[in-house]
Amino acid sequence: MPVRARGVLEGIRFARDVVSSPSAVVTLWKVAGGGKAVGCLPATPVPELLHAAALLPIAFGTPEDLSLFSGQVDAWLVGADSLTFPAPSVSTSLFASPRVPPCSVEEALDRVEALAEWARAVSGSPVSEGGIWKSIRAYGTRRSLLDALDDRCVREPAFLATEERRDIVRAGIFLPPEAHSRLLSSILGIDPEPPVLPAGGERGDPLIVLAKRMM
């Protein structure tokens, strides 16, 4: 394997530490900012709503992931494919998404608005239009960096070992998008590119943008 830059090696080590002890990472995030963590079973298609309410969405991929956490999840978002997971604790707040996809944008918008209201109640922080747009940008930036990581690994197969790449991607489950983007930028040695915005830019209701994603 070729000699790698310091930023790459430090990023690999950081990602490895995150995935080896995610509960500690989430604890530090909560202590530092006073926020709450939401367990998503499975990953929600609109994490921006939770992020905009100062919540940390944790998208559990397998039931085994749940064993890595003990008392760190403050609320649960249960989706259509959650039957493979154990039932969340009834002592925490829970939002259950309908198992049937929405039939119209109007129905999807109702669901998004209900989720935004629930997120506000869990966090105690308002979910503002500006906050949602900021979150859409944050997640868009992270997606562009993940695409850049994929492209780099295709062009340079020796850039990362398979387990290193897996840890780097998986670290995003437990980090807010801004922190994961900084990690990816450091490893790639590039500045984040602005995400592609919806047609018309950041005008109108961002909840409609997210509702359309659920269709």
Q: Tell me what the pLDDT averaged over the chain comes to.
A: 89
Question: Binning pLDDT at 50, 70 and 90, where does residue 98 land?
Answer: confident
Alpha-carbon separation of residue 162 from 22, 81, 146 (angstroms): 20, 28, 15
pTM for the full predicted model: 0.90
- Residue 207: pLDDT over 80: yes
| CA–CA separation, 61 and 66 (whole Å) | 9
| Per-residue pLDDT reduced to its tens digit, 144-177 | 999 999 999 999 999 999 999 999 999 999 999 9
Query: Where in the chain are the domains?
Result: 6-213
- Residue 196: pLDDT over 80: no
Residue 115 has what pLDDT?
Answer: 96
| Per-residue pLDDT reduced to its tens digit, 53-63 | 999 999 887 77
Question: Binning pLDDT at 50, 70 and 90, where does residue 80 land?
Answer: low
Angle, in degrees to the nearest 10, between helices 162-170 and 6-20 = 60
Question: Binning pLDDT at 50, 70 and 90, where does residue 2 land?
Answer: low
Please report the DSSP string for the chain in residue order.
Answer: -----HHHHHHHHHHHHHHHSHHHHHHHHHHHH--EEEEEES--S-HHHHHHTTEEEEE--SHHHHTT-SS---EEEE-TTGGGSPPPPTTSEEEE--SSPPSSHHHHHHHHHHHHHHHHHHHSS---HHHHHHHHHHHHHHHHHHHHHHHHHHH-TTSS-HHHHHHHHHGGGTS-HHHHHHHHHHHHT-PPPPPPPPTTSS-S-HHHHHHHHT-
Residue 142 has what pLDDT?
Answer: 95
